[in-house]
Amino acid sequence: MRRLLIPIVVVLVLSLSLTPAFAAAEKSVTITEAQANELYRVKNPIRPAVSNVSVDFQPGVVIITSTVTRRNAAAVIAITTYAPYLKNGRLYWTVTARTKDGTAVPADVLAQINASISTSWFNFIRGKLPAGKITGIVITGTDLSISYTTPR
């Protein structure tokens, strides 16, 4: 019995240790700052009050600048800084700063913005990447790279 049990245990241990290597494939996708600025939603914002949108990659953050023209109001320049973070294989974004014509918005406004954007970012990423888990994100001055694993 012992002679039969030892090979079975060895095979099980080896198969468990090899399974992760075969179960998921590590991949990555990279978008350049130039490509981001050519995206349809950047060139054609969903809200008619928003125009002149530009995306700027900086180390660790994405900065989006736009002009917002509300009805019966002067146009303002809005600059928003987004910082990514990973949680349980999902990518989330936090607004770390926002200015309107050079004036920082209050902390409570940032909290409201962050509460409202989490679902929209999740849905955007879900439509762009296949099923799997995000394992890393790197933002340089020119590129945004997302590493992820997919089931085989």
Reading the chain (152 residues) residue by residue, the pLDDT tens digits are 334 444 444 444 444 444 454 556 888 888 899 998 888 788 888 888 889 999 999 999 999 999 999 888 899 999 999 999 998 888 888 899 999 999 999 999 999 988 887 666 556 556 666 667 889 999 999 999 888 888 76
CA distance 90 to 149: 11
pLDDT tens-digit series, residues 52-80: 999 999 999 999 999 999 888 899 999 99
pLDDT at 100: 93
Residue-level pLDDT at 152: 66
Please give the pLDDT value at position 143: 93
Q: Quick check: is 42 in a domain?
A: yes
Number of domains in the chain: 1
Decide if 3 is inside a domain.
Answer: no
pLDDT (0 to 100) of residue 41: 80
Rounded CA separation 127/141 (Å): 25
At 45 the pLDDT is 81
78 lies in some domain? yes
For the chain, first and last CA: distance in Å? Answer: 36
Kindly list the distances between the CA atom of residue 126 and the CA atoms of 48, 131, 132, 137, in Å, as whole numbers in the listed order. Answer: 25, 8, 10, 15
The predicted pLDDT at position 108 comes to 93
Residue 59 lies in a domain: yes
At 23 the pLDDT is 56
Answer yes or no: is 18 within a domain.
no
Domain that holds residue 61: 23-151
Q: What is the DSSP string of 95-119?
A: EEEEEETTEEPPHHHHHHHHHHHHH
- Round to whole Å and give the CA distance between 123 and 90: 11
Residue 100 counted as domain residue: yes
Q: Is residue 7 part of a domain?
A: no
Task: Transcribe 24-65 into DSSP letters.
Answer: EEEEEEEEEHHHHHHSHHHHS-SSTTEEEEEEEEETTEEEEE
Strand bridging mode 90-100 / 61-68: unpaired
Is 119 inside any structural domain?
yes
